[in-house]
Amino acid sequence: VTHDQVEAMTMSDRIAVMMDGLIVQVATPAEIYAAPADIRVARFIGSPPINILPANIGEAGIVGLLGESQNLRTALRAGERAQVGIRPADVTVAAHTRARGASSSHEGRLLHTENLGNEIILHLTLAGDRQVPFTARLPQREWATIQASGGNPNIVQV
């Protein structure tokens, strides 16, 4: 038994995640990270924490995310509300240019960065109907190639 997330993820073949005295998921560390049983597990596992964005389900399973349509697979029905989880490490950031043909690109504003040596944690807000807090995790060398500065708009691709 451990309360240390890093210890559990690095030393275990299987993990049982307990919340409020109940086991909510038993799986390998990779499965828990990539396919958490619910939003509580998703928020608990990973550092920095997962980004949770509100979404609407449209016709044919098209997901409305930050005012744009995304072609994501879902079993939910049209009209249902959902939440989409995006890990900070699954984000690409570019300076001032939207990736050509990238429907999953969103404009954001860089608030501040955390320099962790070999990687950078970016804290942004995404533009849209409302300002949505968002976190990205980039390798230091990737960040070094981006000509962004605090407060300037940036493009976030997920």
Does the reported pTM lie above 0.95?
no
**What is the reported pLDDT for 152?**
54
State the chain's maximal CA–CA distance in angstroms.
Answer: 48
User: What ranges make up the beta strands (E) of the chain?
Assistant: 15-19, 22-27, 51-57, 63-65, 68-70, 81-86, 92-94, 105-115, 119-126, 132-139, 153-157
Please tell me whether residues 3 and 73 are part of one structural domain. no
- The CATH number for 90's domain is 2.40.50.100
**What is the reported pLDDT for 29?**
96
Please tell me whether residues 85 and 135 are part of one structural domain. yes
From first to last of its 158 residues, what are the pLDDT tens digits of the chain?
A: 788 888 989 999 999 999 999 999 999 999 999 999 999 999 999 999 999 988 878 776 667 676 666 667 677 778 888 888 999 999 888 776 555 555 567 778 888 899 999 999 999 888 765 678 899 999 988 887 775 545 455 667 65
Spatial separation of the C-alpha atoms in residues 80 and 92, rounded to whole Å? 28
Residue 128 backbone zone (phi > 0: left; psi -120 to 50: alpha; other: beta): left
Range of the domain at 132: 47-157
Please tell me whether residues 39 and 59 are part of one structural domain. no
| Chain CA centroid to CA 83, Å | 11
**What is the reported pLDDT for 131?**
78
Please tell me whether residues 86 and 144 are part of one structural domain. yes
**What is the reported pLDDT for 151?**
43
Please tell me whether residues 71 and 108 are part of one structural domain. yes
Residue 119 identity (one-letter amino acid): E
**What is the reported pLDDT for 25?**
97
**What is the reported pLDDT for 76?**
78
Residue 101 backbone zone (phi > 0: left; psi -120 to 50: alpha; other: beta): left
Please tell me whether residues 37 and 101 are part of one structural domain. no
Give the number of domains in the chain: 2
Please tell me whether residues 58 and 126 are part of one structural domain. yes
Please tell me whether residues 15 and 56 are part of one structural domain. no
